[in-house]
Chains A and B, each alone.
Chain A
């Protein structure tokens, strides 16, 4: 789900990079000291799970955990996602250096909406957890379709990205079980 450099319009990439650095400052204001290790370890988790590649539909997908990042970190998820994508781009060359901004905005939007869903206390917790996992994948995919289209790709790109629906469902199930596990063993971790 990472956009590499050279694929989409450079104007979009640069604009997104500037916007995402601004968002890092906004979302990272007055972070309490005790939040820092949680941010670091969630980032490490996001990085490590991205190394697990599952062959799928002629390509490979990996878990993103953006829904879980949103649930655990709330609005603080954005600086973590930005850092993880910077790591992935430099160390693994997943995505690009110029595209770190656009990738962060896409995936950060997924985590942010997942957090908003998670905060809807009137819904059952299991449903909120599953929806957060699903939204954490579908929102970045939707934004990617829009960005590809703005960069000249045809609307047929919608069909090609539809394979991610299965990845989203899998992430929904994973988020549900992870939240259930946390609720049973250490419920104070859930934001």
Chain B
């Protein structure tokens, strides 16, 4: 597993990439909070949220093909959750009659739009900052220390675990060439247990090495985040715009 998988576009040079990680985290978190707090069935504001998101994406200089591809990979889950809404009403006797009313469809559509915009904000977040800097930003935002410690260990151990998974898969395949005739849960479960055991031994060694170098649960970076005026202004401006749409978009305007 390569780091490229995680930090693909985080090294681009754009005004957004240069912002403090806390600003990006807060913008994504509060942006999502504002979007999802829209009352069910209200559709017009999503056009404005979409426009605002487009401005943020343009400022970030991210390739649209990448954003769209990532969205399309994950969108089936959103589509399913939206379709589930009228379908779940249809399958229950007491709500069957209202399952495909216009209002129900509008609620399902608003679920789809809320989830889609939130997903775009999440894709944007991981694309404009290195993952370990985001973790550092979260820690600066008072994320519990234990979560920070587990995060930094997990981040290194994912690669240890992945290496062990490849090694044991190679060993299994060399003993049983070709595909398994049928899925054998026992074979996979034993392999999983073996990977866990091997990587646990390696992780203990790694942890001891980290402790001997002074690791005490906190993590640092060569690029320590520091809030500047521009960061605060950027966050304030976009949050105000999000809030303005949330509070002052008149649903009657749609007619």
Contacts and interface: CB of A to CB of B under 8 A. Distances in A.
Interface of A: 2, 4-7, 10, 13-14, 21, 24-25, 28, 31, 33, 36-45, 47-49, 59, 79-80, 82-84, 86-87, 89-91, 93-94, 96-98, 148, 152-157, 159-160, 170, 173-178, 181-182, 185-186, 189
Contact of B153 (A36, A152, A173, A178): A36
Contacts of B114: 5-7
Interface in B92-119: 92, 94-95, 99, 107, 111, 113-119
Classify the secondary structure of A's interface with B: helix
A44 B84 CA distance: 32
A96 B154 contact: no
A91 B126 contact: yes
Given A5-B36, A5-B114, A40-B153, A153 B185 contact: no
Interface of B is mostly: helix
A97 B122 contact: yes
A49 B192 contact: yes
Nearest to A82: B147
B122 to A, nearest CB: 5
Contacts of B195: 45
A160 B87 contact: yes
A4 B147 CA distance: 21
A129 B193 CA distance: 14
B171 interface: no
A90 B126 contact: yes
Contact of B189 (A24, A97, A153, A181): A181
Given A5-B114, A173-B185, A59 B131 contact: no
